[in-house]
Chains A and B, each alone.
Chain A
Amino acid sequence: MQKKVIFKGKLLPLALLAPQLAVTFIFFFWPAGQAIYQSLLREDAFGFSREFVGLENFHEVLTDPSWVNAALNSLVFSGFVAGLALGLALFLAVQADKSIRGATAYRSLLIWPYAVAPAVAAVLWLFLFQPNVGMLGRWLNAMGIAWDYRLNGGQAMTLVIIAAAWKQLAYNFIFFLAGLQSIPASVLEAAAIDGARPARRFWTIIFPLLSPTTFFLLVVNLTYAFFDTFGIIHSLTNGGPAKATETLIYKVYVDGVQNLNLGSSSAQSVILMILVIGLTAIQFRAVEKKVHY
């Protein structure tokens, strides 16, 4: 069944693999190794004094209440972003899949946000929700709702979740739409003839058949919420107020780049690396078995 290409020598396959291996080494293994090495050291910003401290940085990070706070924030943030982005995208994709007038225009418009850079997306939301200059922000305050995400942690978290989910919506939408279009129409028609209503058709046929797509998107969305939302948080809230929107990745930046505490920052990124390796392994081993293919 399997198609195999057999090379005669060893040189050619090695040469073909080399570029990919080099890229992986330079852009992944080398920096990761540096981070691990740095996480065992403590040094000043300029790199004059260097002290080997073993696992002290890790101990310090894990017992630091602000790290625990960042971990909780990350869980809340990524959970809501993934949930919101997946749920809304699925809803919109199902609507766009119907034969309605202007469906193509509607589809293209929904894909647009994906092309917007995270920082730009954040500025767009800022223009909407900034309490002094933002349209909706001013309106909320005029309505008597004390809207100020610069001082209210819950509002700040809500805002970054909405902005991050909006940004990811388009990506999910494309995949869901493609998934929907690959479901054979005959199956749905047969169900419709048997008297299944749209809601029932969705939950018993469409949703299970979409589950491979959903699972793939879940992994992608969680990774996105964990690692790619730095720009949005940085431009909207700077992790504030009072660390209310500081996620693990943002804390790595604050401690490493702003506070120049390289040892602690590296230790945090090593912990993050371990977390992600673990998360991905669990997801692919345990959850994948239950996904209907």
Chain B
Amino acid sequence: MRRRHLAAGAIALTSLISTPFAARAQQPVEIQFWHGLNQPLGGMLEQLATDFNATQAQYKVVPTFRGGYAETAVAAIAAFRANTAPHILQMFEVGTGTMMSAGRAIKPLHEIVAETGVAIDPNDVIGPVAGYYAAADGKMMALPFNSSTTIAFYNKDMFQKAGLNPNAFPATWQGVEEAARKLKAAGIACPMTTSWPSWVMVEQFLAIHDVPLASRANGFEGLNTELNLTNPLMVRHLTNLVNWQKEGLFRYAGRDSAGDALFPAGECAITFASSGVRARTVREARFQWGAAMLPYYEGVQGAPRNSIIGGAAFWVMNRGPNARRTPEELKGVAEFFRYITSAPVMAKWHQDTGYVPVTRSAYEATKAAGYYQQNPGADVPIEQMLRGGDPTPNSRGIRLGGFIEIRNIIQEEMERAFQGQATPEQALQSMNTRGNQVLRNFERTNRNN
């Protein structure tokens, strides 16, 4: 009797345990997706995941906001060390060098495409964007998605007030200086400002003038690269910025995106910011405004060229140092990637946000729909990125290890120059020395990966 009861109990137990397993097999595979976009962009991004989940039942993408880009990156690295990394990590462009050297922490995009057979065409990604995320052999390591570049935004009402042509933004820095002077004379307190001081005034600035920021093709050719920030053109530009600030033509608004608010609020007449600021300006600005390409110094050999990209890409991570992804999980990731890069989805994302269309098909679709005719200026970022044909080694992008830290160093030293604590030459020299130290440390710890 007793034994039979036990046996029956055991059978009951096994079935109890196995049922949930069976049920779980039909549950969708969860794909963790960590992103660093705050509102309203974050909501739009999460909507894409929701839309994708609605198209099929096999996979479920779970987006989570993890703070800004830098915080998200740090959280994912810590999670990787604790064996709980997300499948997809949205990493901003300055983290590219770090991710490229991350060895088995990441699963390169080209391997995923090869292993899963899901059709994502790397040739559809536009040149400057693809080059930024390609390894030395030209294979794509990550999926660029919300790529942006920096452009100029200007207040047409203020231009009119200052007697300037509201439909022509000056193409050169000489012209911008002159315009700023007229704006100031017309009583405008803040003629010009900038967001992302390092990205705009150093990184983009050097790229469009075809001057290297660092040796070894801006770090693309190896970790043994050195900064080249003391070049005469950089000295000339920083000296100008500092002088313009003293004269009241330029206002330093803080690091990173701190300057974004000043333009839509109608405070500054000209700003240089991420093309992603377009969405915000459309919503908030109570004045006529225009978008234009970044200015360049007239007479510099090779200028103006294409600008480089910013924004972020999606990297696929392994779960931990010794935990690989299953083929099922990779398939889910690939299907999600295919969905978001499909022409209609990508085109809509581009039009809603102001980010660059990263695929040719999305660009063509947007063009064909007449979007650029209805929204003049919306094609400025992509036109600027395609300017001058194929990118040169100086305008392909920047791939430096520890670039997050280097960018902070650049911003700190710019602040010292703006405060008058250092001359522009001293500040640039100091950026070079301190930045090279970071590069050497990175080279040392990543030599063996």
Show 28 residue pairs from A and B whose CB-CB distance is below 8 angstroms, ordered by the A residue.
A42-B444, A42-B445, A44-B101, A44-B445, A44-B446, A46-B77, A46-B103, A46-B321, A48-B104, A48-B105, A49-B447, A49-B448, A132-B261, A150-B253, A150-B254, A150-B258, A151-B252, A151-B419, A238-B255, A241-B412, A241-B419, A242-B413, A243-B412, A258-B70, A258-B404, A259-B438, A260-B77, A261-B405
The answer to whether B74 touches A260, judged by C-beta atoms less than 8 angstroms apart, is: yes
Q: Flag whether A45 is at the interface (Cβ < 8 A).
A: yes
In the complex, whether B177 has a CB less than 8 A from a CB of chain A is no
Q: Using a CB-CB cutoff of 8 Å, which residues 235-291 of chain A contact chain B?
A: 238, 240-243, 254, 257-261
Give B100-141 as 1s and 0s: 1 = Cβ < 8 Å from A's Cβ atoms.
011111000000000000000000000000000000000000
Within 8 A of B (CB), among A116-163: 132, 150-153
Nearest chain A CB to B137's CB is how many angstroms away?
Answer: 21
- Chain B residues numbered 261-293 whose CB sits less than 8 Å from any CB in chain A: 261-262, 265, 267
Q: B236 in the interface, Cβ–Cβ < 8 Å?
A: no
B225 to chain A, nearest CB (A): 17
Given the known inter-chain contacts A44-B445, A44-B449, please indicate yes or no for A240 contacting B419, CB distance below 8 A: no
Check B103–A48 contact: CB distance below 8 A.
Answer: yes
Residue numbers of B with Cβ under 8 A of A are 70, 74, 77, 80-81, 98, 101-105, 252-255, 258, 261-262, 265, 267, 321, 402, 404-405, 408, 411-413, 415-416, 418-419, 421, 438, 441, 444-449
Residue of A nearest to B258 (CB): A150
Rounded to whole angstroms, the CA-CA distance of A132 and B408 in the bound complex is 23
Contacts known (A240-B415, A242-B421, A260-B74); A46 close to B80, Cβ less than 8 A: yes
A97 at the binding interface (Cβ < 8 Å) = no
Can you name the residue of chain A whose Cβ is closest to the Cβ of B98? Answer: A45
- A194 contacts B by Cβ under 8 Å: no
B321 and A48 contacting across the interface, CB-CB below 8 Å = yes
Give B8 Cβ to nearest chain A Cβ, in Å. Answer: 43
Q: Chain A: which residue is nearest B408 at the CB level? A: A258
Cβ contacts under 8 Å, A150 to chain B: 252-254, 258
> What chain B residues lie within 8 Å of A19 (beta carbons)?
none
Give CA–CA (A85, B193) in the complex, Å: 38
Q: Which residues of B contact A152 (CB under 8 A)?
A: 419
A residues within 8 A CB of B444?
Answer: 42
Q: Which residues of A contact B74 (CB under 8 A)?
A: 257-258, 260
Q: A43-B445, A48-B103, A260-B77 are in contact. List 20 more A-B contacts (CB 8 A).
A: A45-B77, A46-B77, A46-B81, A48-B105, A48-B449, A49-B446, A49-B448, A150-B253, A151-B252, A151-B415, A151-B419, A240-B411, A241-B419, A242-B415, A243-B412, A258-B70, A258-B74, A258-B404, A259-B404, A259-B438
Inside 8 A of B80's CB, which chain A residues have their CB? 46
Q: Name the residue on A nearest B253 (C-beta).
A: A150
Chain A residues in 8 Å Cβ range of B415: 151, 240-242
- Closest beta carbon of chain A to B404's beta carbon, Å: 7
Answer yes or no: A195 CB below 8 A from chain B CBs: no
Knowing A42-B444, A46-B102, A240-B255, the reply to whether A153 touches B419 (Cβ < 8 A) is: yes
Q: Knowing A51-B445, A242-B421, A260-B77 touch, does A46 contact B254 (C-beta < 8 A)?
A: no
Tell me the minimal C-beta distance from A246 to chain B in angstroms: 9
> Shortest Cβ distance from A156 into chain B, in angstroms?
10
Complex formed: what's the CA distance from A88 to B101 in Å?
53
| A242 with B267: CB separation less than 8 A | no
* Whole-angstrom CA separation of A44 from B77 in the bound complex: 11
Shortest distance between the CB of A263 and any CB in chain B (Å): 9
> In the complex, what's the smallest C-beta–C-beta distance from B185 to chain A, in angstroms?
20
Minimum Cβ distance to chain A for residue B412 (Å)? 5
Q: Within 8 Å CB of A259, what residues of B?
A: 402, 404-405, 408, 438
Q: How far is the CB of B316 from chain A (nearest CB, A)?
A: 15
Which chain A residues lie closer than 8 Å to B103 at the CB level? 46, 48
Asked whether any CB of chain B lies closer than 8 Å to the CB of A184, the reply is no
Q: In angstroms, how far is the closest chain A Cβ from the Cβ of B111?
A: 18
Q: Which residues of B contact A242 (CB under 8 A)?
A: 412-413, 415-416, 419, 421
Is A9 part of the contact surface with B, judged by Cβ < 8 Å?
Answer: no
- The complex places the Cα of A44 from the Cα of B444 at a distance, in Å, of 9
**Which of B411, B412, B416 has most A Cβ within 10 Å?**
B412
Q: Write out the residue numbers on chain A whose beta carbons fall within 8 Å of the beta carbon of B267.
A: 132
Task: Determine the residue in chain A with the shortest Cβ distance to B321.
Answer: A47
Taking CB atoms, residues of chain A closer than 8 Å to B252 are 150-151
- Which residues of the other chain, B, contact A132 by a CB distance below 8 angstroms? 261-262, 265, 267
Q: Which residue of B lies closest to A44 (CB)?
A: B445
A143 to chain B, nearest CB (A): 15
Contact A151 B418 (CB under 8 A): yes
Question: Once bound together, how far apart are the Cα atoms of A94 and B444, in whole Å?
Answer: 60
Within the complex, the shortest CB–CB distance from A73 to chain B, in Å, comes to: 14
Complex interface: chain B residues within 8 A of A153 (CB): 419, 421
Q: Is the CB of B412 within 8 A of A240?
A: yes
Residues of A within 8 A of B447 (CB): 49
Complex Cα–Cα for A243 and B413 (A): 9
Q: Which residue of B lies closest to A45 (CB)?
A: B77
Contacts of A240 in B (CB 8 A): 255, 411-412, 415
Q: Which residues of A contact B404 (CB under 8 A)?
A: 258-259
Collect the chain A residues with CB atoms within 8 Å of residue B408's CB.
254, 258-259
Which A-B residue pairs are the 8 nearest by beta carbons? A242-B415, A259-B405, A241-B415, A44-B445, A242-B416, A150-B254, A46-B105, A242-B412
Contact, CB under 8 Å: A47 / B445: no
Residue of A nearest to B447 (CB): A49
In chain A between 2 and 57, which residues have their CB closer than 8 angstroms to a CB of chain B? 42-49, 51
Q: How far is the CA of A151 from the CA of B418 in the complex (A)?
A: 7
Distance in angstroms between the alpha carbons of A242 and B413 in the assembled complex: 6
Most central of A153, A257, A259 by chain B CB within 10 Å: A259
Q: How far is the CB of B195 from chain A (nearest CB, A)?
A: 13
Q: Which residue of B lies closest to A51 (CB)?
A: B445
